Amino acid sequence: MSTKSENRTLAFTPAYKLAEMIREKKLSPIELTKAILARIEELNPKLNAYLTVAADEAMFQAKEAEKEVMDGGKIGPLHGVPVSIKDLLPTKDMRTTMGSWVYRDWIPEAEGTMVQRLRASGAIIIGKTNTPEFGFACVVENKLGDYCRNPWNTDRNSGGSSGGAAAGVAAGICPLGQASDGGGSTRIPSSFCGVYGLKASYGRVPKAVQPWGVSHVTCLDPIGRNVRDAALMLQVMAGPDGMDYTCIKAQPPDFVKAATEELKRMRIAWSPDLGYKVPVDPEINKAVENAAKTFADMGHTVERAEPATGDTFDLWDVLFASRYYIYLRPLLEEHPDELMDYTRMLLECARGLSGLEVAAGWAQLERLRGLVGDFFESYDLLLCPTTAVTAPPVGKRGRGRGRGFIDWDFIPFTATFNLTGNPAASVPCGFSSEGLPIGLQIVGRFEDEVTVLRASAAFEEEKPWTDKYPLVS
């Protein structure tokens, strides 16, 4: 029987190395899955990172994975490696709550292409991670239980909406976490929890198509403790899909190779606030400025600049709320008392919008995409803070901008790149005086995840973060 120390060592071994060890028969998928489940049992009560732990199913998958290894069967790139799925995504025969009390007992009968691809790669789905209701907040707060807490300080929140995924990866209770990002939901918790999260270009990873269509801003993403792990997970998830008409039609590049290649000389812009004139924690400003200097020291041309977009809070609120109102409207009428306050606010906002307001928003979006596209004619990358603050105390929300249902005071720098579709990563770049992680956002040209990954990996090599572990680990 493995000891806690042995389980911890396995838990913080990079996912790509775990996959190599399994292929080389140096590690049993059963041993690895048992180790992760033991750590979930020990640590999840402190974090509430998982809403559902699929222990029996995971062990069944692990036994099948081990049999395939021993029999010389087909071995996928994530064969035998446990992954978590964010509880916004349906998983066949596994509870999917959407972070909502209304869906607390829903067991889907089908699942989308992305989840199917993870299964086909040999990944073991170990559970469903915590999320705010329908992903509508930057903190994980819902009616299903306690807050999802930050492993660096459990009095602080983990960020949202992929807070469970980020907290789980940071605490070593899952090697890889599947996330999604409609306004920063991969990058915000990655920043707060000190892990690497990459929002790929819009359409890089297929989404499940519903009768009302697909979200025009949301991406399905990887979270890992290091860049190469996230690249490996993205490689499995990405690629065209005939079901999702918004998907990028070209085959994806080699993301894993990109994470190991040298970064050529770049022209890089950096900005402390994207020109939004929002207050940013001075310690975050200093860490991001130092990160920009690190790229300059590596030989890149780095200068202060940002696209002249103006803030995009109201635009995002209008377009996001109106799209989700299409299918969530019945909940506002039939289950108003079972919804979180932020969900009701979003749906009530949408209900009050005029057609002219929504049409004006789409016109503004076209201009925004043009401005950002023009900006990246002059620059290869843009650096800025991922968030304006480090992880806030649980129960605290920021307000005061946009239509009032999103905490834009805390997280003003992410949603613009959901609207434009550009790839953007959150890279750990330091710690506050309170010991809380700080994230650097690296933004690239549309469809150019390769450069974002290379830059992230180069920064990781210069300023490594994977040897740092949170208090709850």
Active site residues: 86, 161, 185
What contacts 17, CB < 8 A, 6 or more positions away? none
Q: Among all chains, which residue has been given the structure tokens 């170990």?
A: 126
Rounded Cα distance, 251 and 307, in Å: 29
Of the candidates 393, 390, 468, 400, the residue with the CA atom closest to the CA atom of residue 432: 390
Rounded Cα distance, 328 and 64, in Å: 39
Q: How big is the chain by its Cα radius of gyration, in Å?
A: 21
**DSSP string spanning 311-331?**
--HHHHHHHHHHHHHHHHHHH
User: Cα separations (Å) of 465 from 318, 382, 390?
Assistant: 37, 21, 17
Neighbours of 360 (CB within 10 A): 13
**DSSP string spanning 174-233?**
-SEEEEEESSSTTHHHHHHHT-EEEE--TTSS----BTTB--SS-EEEEEESSHHHHHHH
Say if residue 363 is exposed, middle or buried (CB neighbours under 10 Å; 0-12, 13-18, 19+). exposed
Helix (H) or strand (E) holding 38: helix 29-47
Instruction: Give the tokens for residue 424.
Output: 């953007």
Name the 3-class secondary structure at 260: coil
Rounded Cα distance, 385 and 460, in Å: 16
Neighbours of 101 (CB within 10 A): 17
Beta-sheet pairing, 176-181 with 82-86: parallel
Instruction: Give the tokens for residue 140.
Output: 């994980």
